[in-house]
Copies of this chain bind each other. A is one copy, B any other.
Amino acid sequence: MMERVVIVGTGLIGASVGLALRRAGFAGTLIGIDMNAEEAAEAKRMGAVDRIVAPATGERALEVCATADVVVLAVPVMAIMGWIDKLAPVLAPQTLVTDAGSTKLAIWKLARASFLGVGRARFLPGHPMAGKESGGAGLAEAKLFDGAMWLFTPLDEALTELEVEWRAWVTKFGCRTMDLDAARHDRICAWVSHLPQMVATAMAALYEDEFAREPGMADDFRAIGGRALREMTRLGASPYTMWRDVAQTNTEPIAATIFALEQRLAHLRENLKTPGLREEFVKANRFRRER
Residue numbers of A with Cβ under 8 A of B are 129-130, 133, 148-149, 151, 176, 178, 180, 184, 188-189, 191-193, 195-211, 217, 220-226, 228-240, 243-244, 247-248, 251, 254-255, 258-262, 264-266, 268-269, 272-273, 277-289, 291
Contact = CB atoms under 8 A, between A and B. Distances in A.
A82 B237 CA distance: 44
A240 to B, nearest CB: 4
A243 B281 contact: yes
Contact of A196 (B151, B232, B260, B261): B232
Given A200-B232, A233-B284, A248 B261 contact: no
A285 B234 CA distance: 10
27 contacts: A149-B223, A149-B226, A184-B220, A195-B203, A197-B228, A198-B265, A199-B265, A201-B268, A201-B284, A202-B264, A202-B265, A203-B261, A204-B284, A204-B287, A222-B291, A232-B232, A236-B285, A236-B288, A237-B289, A238-B281, A238-B284, A240-B278, A243-B277, A244-B277, A255-B269, A258-B265, A262-B265
Nearest to A189: B224
Nearest to A148: B226
A80 to B, nearest CB: 18
A269 B259 contact: yes
Contacts of A180: 220
Nearest to A248: B273
Given A262-B266, A266-B262, A196 B281 contact: no
Contact of A206 (B240, B261, B273): B261
A103 to B, nearest CB: 12
A234 B291 CA distance: 10
Nearest to A278: B240
B149 A283 contact: no
B196 A199 contact: no
A284 B196 contact: no
Nearest to A176: B223
A192 B229 contact: yes
Given A234-B231, A265-B202, A272 B287 contact: no
Given A180-B220, A191-B221, A269-B262, A237 B207 contact: no
A222 B148 CA distance: 12
Nearest to A217: B188
A191 B210 contact: yes
Contacts of A225: 129, 192-193
Interface centre among A220, A279, A284, by most chain B C-beta atoms within 10 angstroms, is: A284
Contacts of A239: 281, 285
Nearest to A244: B277
